[in-house]
C-alpha cells in the first residue's frame, strides 16, 4: 500500500512521468516519502552521495561554503526539480550542500538500490540515465548562460 503511494508520487514527478509502469514499480522500490523543516540539509558537501531527491513542494538552495564570503547560493530549485547528481558517478560524494529554504516535501531515492537495479537490468538503467541526462543538460546550458554575465553587457550583448 505504502509502496503504491510512493509509486504514484514517483509517476507524477516530471523526471519519471510517462515511464512504463513496471519500470516505475522497480524505481518506487528504492523510494520513500520524506519531509524537511526549513533550514535542514538534504545533502552535505563531502558526504556519501547515497540519496537524491525529487522535489514535490518547497524550495531548496544548492550552496557552497566559502570561508571568506560565507555560504553562497549557486542555484535554487523547486517543485518538479531534482536535487543531487553525485550519486550517479564515482566517487559518489556530494559536491554541494542542499538546504531547505522552506518546509520541503520530496521523494528520496536510495542511490545504492537504484544503481544495483540499473546494473541488474540495463534497460532500467538506460531509461533512468536518459531522463536524468535531459535534466542535467538543461541545467548545464542554463549555467553556461549565467557564466556569460549577460546583464552586465550593454545593450545587444
Partner 1 sequence: MRPVLHRVVDRRRESDDVVTLALEPQGGRPWPFRAGQFHMLSAFGVGEAAISVSSPPGDAPVVEHTVRDVGPVTHAMCTAPPGTLVGVRGPFGTDWGIEGAAGDVVVAAGGIGLAPLRGAIHQLLASPRVERVFVVVGARSPAQVMFGEDLEVWATRGARVAVTVDVADRGWRGHVGLVTSLLGPLEYDPARTSALVCGPEIMMRFTARALLDRGVEPSRIRISLERNMQCGLGWCGHCQLGPLLLCRDGPVVTYDGAVPGLLLERER
Ligand X SMILES: Cc1cc2nc3c(=O)[nH]c(=O)nc-3n(C[C@H](O)[C@H](O)[C@H](O)COP(=O)(O)OP(=O)(O)OC[C@H]3O[C@@H](n4cnc5c(N)ncnc54)[C@H](O)[C@@H]3O)c2cc1C
Residues in contact with ligand X by CB under 6 A are: 154-156
Interface positions with partner 1 (CB under 8 A):
59, 61, 63, 69-76, 78-80, 101, 142, 145-146, 148-157
Give the ranges where 43-105 is alpha helix by DSSP (H).
Answer: none
Residue 72's binding partner out of partner 1, ligand X, none, with CB under 5 to 8 Å set by partner kind:
partner 1
Residue 79's binding partner out of ligand X, partner 1, none, with CB under 5 to 8 Å set by partner kind:
partner 1
Nearer to ligand X, 90 or 154 (CB): 154
Residue 150's binding partner out of partner 1, ligand X, none, with CB under 5 to 8 Å set by partner kind:
partner 1
Please list the residues that pair with 55 across neighbouring strands: 106
Long-range contacts of 76-79 (CB under 8 A, 24+ apart): 76/101, 79/55
Q: State the minimum distance, in angstroms, from the CB of residue 149 to ligand X.
A: 14
Please list the residues that pair with 34 across neighbouring strands: 106
Compute CA distances 89 → 37, 57, 66, 93, whole Å. 29, 27, 25, 9
Q: In what order do the strands lie in the sheet with 31-36?
A: 31-36, 104-110, 51-57, 82-83
Nearer to partner 1, 48 or 80 (CB): 80
Q: State the minimum distance, in angstroms, from the CB of residue 105 to partner 1.
A: 15
Scanning the structure block, which residue is given the C-alpha cell 559536491?
95
Distance CA 71, CA 133 (A): 28
Q: State the minimum distance, in angstroms, from the CB of residue 139 to partner 1.
A: 9
Nearer to ligand X, 18 or 154 (CB): 154
Amino acid at each position: 500500500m505504502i509502496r503504491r503511494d510512493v509509486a504514484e508520487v514517483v509517476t507524477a514527478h516530471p523526471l519519471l512521468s510517462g515511464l512504463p509502469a513496471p519500470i516505475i514499480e522497480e524505481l518506487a522500490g528504492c523510494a520513500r516519502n520524506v519531509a524537511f523543516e526549513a533550514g535542514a540539509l538534504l545533502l552535505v558537501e563531502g558526504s556519501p552521495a547515497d540519496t537524491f531527491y525529487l522535489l514535490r513542494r518547497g524550495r531548496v538552495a544548492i550552496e557552497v561554503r566559502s570561508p571568506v564570503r560565507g555560504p553562497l547560493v549557486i542555484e535554487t530549485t523547486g517543485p518538479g526539480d531534482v536535487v543531487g547528481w553525485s550519486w550517479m558517478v564515482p566517487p559518489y560524494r556530494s559536491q554541494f550542500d542542499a538546504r531547505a529554504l522552506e518546509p520541503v516535501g520530496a521523494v528520496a531515492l536510495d542511490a545504492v538500490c537504484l544503481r544495483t537495479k540499473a546494473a541488474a537490468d540495463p534497460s532500467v538503467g538506460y531509461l533512468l540515465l536518459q531522463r536524468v541526462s535531459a535534466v542535467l543538460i538543461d541545467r548545464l546550458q542554463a549555467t553556461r548562460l549565467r557564466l556569460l554575465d549577460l546583464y552586465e553587457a550593454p545593450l545587444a550583448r
